[in-house]
Amino acid sequence: MKGAETTAASVDVQWLSSCGHLRLGSDAVHVWRACLDQSPLQLNNFQNTLDDDERSRARRFYFSRDRQRFIAARGILRSLLAGYLGTVPNSISFIYGTHGKPALAAECGADAIQFNLAHSHGTALYALTRGRGIGVDLEFIRCDLKVEQIAGQFFSHSEIIALGALPPSVREYAFFLCWTRKEAYIKARGEGLSIPLDQFDVSLIPGEPAALLNTQPDSDEAFRWSLLNLTPACGYAAALAVEGRDWTPSFWQWPRHVIER
């Protein structure tokens, strides 16, 4: 990974507005931030771009706010992909991996763009690149979690020790740093929870760079992936996992809304 935005301490970046043609170079990673609370008109436009499977998923949400955010998340995904591919949003087709990771279908140029998305509390992050695995995770930082208990259940031995050694005032934030880094990595791999969460270690100390420290049983995995801490908005933790190290991130704001949280 190149550029100035490579450490946890230095990713308080400017989210740029897009204009014109979207171009993704071979060593580029574009991260898009979007607000999922869209106007009824925009939602209607997004809904018209979804396929049957997405519409059927949307209908299954119990709460209308969740349904609308799903429609917005998929509508924005389609619009972004169409912008890079030079096509229209409703022509995009997805395929899904064994554990549910979406990817472009062969007819869209399956190898053209790899992407991943995450959404939490009305905000979404989209990460796009070419020719390398990618995963992103985003969590709204909740104050009602028993973080030590959850860490004891899901984190690795080293992570539990590192978390416990931190002052209580930063432990909750560190928990979310750890959680989003672990999740971004398993989302990049696309294998879901078939990767045991306690079989790899990530960094979690606030202010230190995001890193995949150890992986078992294959220690080479730790060298194959790089992690980046993201700060999409106040009150959120987020992380990006990308295959390889020779990539440059840039950060973009979905144009229709400015996030002020």
The residue among 190 and 249 lying less far from ligand COA, judged by its C-beta, is: 190
Please state whether the peptide bond connecting residue 217 to the residue before it is cis, i.e. omega within 30 degrees of 0. Answer: yes
Q: Which is nearer to ligand COA, 4 or 96 (CB)?
A: 96
Minimum separation from the CB atom of position 37 to ligand COA (A): 16
Backbone Cα Rg of the chain:
18
Please, which residue, 4 or 150, has the CB nearer to ligand COA?
150
Q: How far is C-alpha 110 from the geometric centre of its chain's CA atoms?
A: 20
Spatial CA neighbour of 96 closest among 116, 81, 76, 77: 116
Q: Is the dihedral of CA 80, 85, 91, 92 positive or negative?
A: negative
* Rounded least distance, CB 162 to ligand COA, Å: 14
* CB of residue 20 to ligand COA, shortest distance in Å: 27
| Residue numbers at the binding site for ligand COA (CB under 6 A) | 70, 73-74, 99-102, 116-119, 135, 137, 154, 179, 182-183, 186-187, 190, 192-193, 197
Tell me how far, at minimum, the Cβ of 100 lies from ligand COA, in Å: 3
Strands 200-202 and 28-35: unpaired
Is the Cβ of residue 14 or residue 52 nearer to ligand COA in the bound state?
52
8 A C-beta contact, residue 199 and residue 182: no
Give the residue with the Cβ less far from ligand COA, 99 or 257. 99
Minimum CB distance to ligand COA, residue 135 (Å): 6
Query: Alpha-carbon distance 232 to 253, whole Å?
Result: 10
